[in-house]
Structure 1
Amino acid sequence: MSVVENQSLSGGCQCGAVRYRVTGKTDYPHLCHCRMCQKASGNFFLPLIGTEKKDFEWTRGEPTWFHSSKPVRRAFCNVCGTPLAFDTVGDTVISFTHGSLDDVGAVTPVEQSGVEGRVSFYDKLFSLPETVSNRDDLPGGTSDVSSTNCQHPDHDTTNWPEGHR
């Protein structure tokens, strides 16, 4: 297992209503392919990183929790819907979503779990053609997206939103 000692990490939801900080070690960064994680993330898999609950704190707002099963609850922002955490009730560890980190590249996944649910075309994803999105399908293209962006920046802020929402 990959353990990162005493790394300070921050992250949060897309709109900035819910933010968190990790001040201790992280453990078991992985991609979960189980069907429940697919549904919870709306994706082919859900990247998760574990840390001790004592080293994890919500620094702005509070997430909404959904029990996806009796022993497991999942945190998400009730404003923008961003999946934020996976918590096994009664455990000392909480797992937060890798993609919600401010610096997504700070931790590297070490394993894939729940592979029985992995989609059949997963191994072909990296051979697909690649393009840079110019969003010419939207009125105003990328300039309109940039000028009206309500996404929280990838760092902690004192005040948010700054005129958005």
Structure 2
Amino acid sequence: MPTHKASCLCGAVQITVEGDLPRPSVCHCRECRKHSGHLEASVDVPESWVTVTGAEAVGWFQSSEKVRRGFCKTCGSTLFWDPIFRDWTAIAMGAFDTPTGTQIAGHIFVEEKGDYYEINDGLPQNAR
């Protein structure tokens, strides 16, 4: 079974994912753009695949009734998009240290994308 390593910018948070990474999506919604500084590419994985070392350095922001967003409290790196009451979590693709062996599946919430860029990669686009 493949192992994928991820971390925050300062290294205070280390993430290990055991298993093949599914194809990630790129979210263009207002909340993801504000959280990440642009758009947010993340991959959904079962929580049972994930081990976090340095979890005390992870801060959580409850961005809606159903979702919380995880970041490093030391360096501010975007790490997680976590749907509450689910058995999976999304990990920011930019946090991965090693080659991921996956490619983007498509784009979501494109109706909320910023006006300063275009999506020209030919991948599927969903309005919501």
TM-score bucket of the superposed structures, by smaller chain: 0.7 to 0.9
Matched, 1:31 2:26: yes
Separation (CA, whole Å) in 1 of partners of 2:106 and 2:2 = 20
In the alignment, what sits opposite 1:47? 41
Runs of at least 4 residues off by over 3 Å: none
TM-score, L = length of structure 2: 0.85
Q: In terms of Rg, which structure is larger? A: 1
Matched, 1:88 2:83: yes
Matched, 1:73 2:72: no
Separation (CA, whole Å) in 2 of partners of 1:10 and 1:41 = 20
| 2:26–2:107 Cα contact (<8 Å) kept | yes
| 2:32–2:40 Cα contact (<8 Å) kept | yes
Deviation at 1:120, TM superposition (A): 2.7
Q: Number of residue pairs matched?
A: 120
TM-score, L = length of structure 1: 0.67
Specify the code of the residue in structure 1 equivalent to 2:63: S
Structure 1 residues 2-151: aligned runs within 5 Å? 6-43=1-38, 45-62=39-56, 63-103=58-98, 106-123=101-118
When you count helix as a share of all residues, which structure comes out higher?
1
| 2:21–2:100 Cα contact (<8 Å) kept | no
When you count strand as a share of all residues, which structure comes out higher?
2
Separation (CA, whole Å) in 1 of partners of 2:108 and 2:51 = 26
| 1:34–1:115 Cα contact (<8 Å) kept | yes
Specify the code of the residue in structure 1 equivalent to 2:53: T
Specify the code of the residue in structure 2 equivalent to 1:74: R
Where does the alignment leave 5 or more consecutive residues of structure 2 unmatched?
122-128
| 2:5–2:16 Cα contact (<8 Å) kept | yes
Separation (CA, whole Å) in 1 of partners of 2:97 and 2:88 = 21
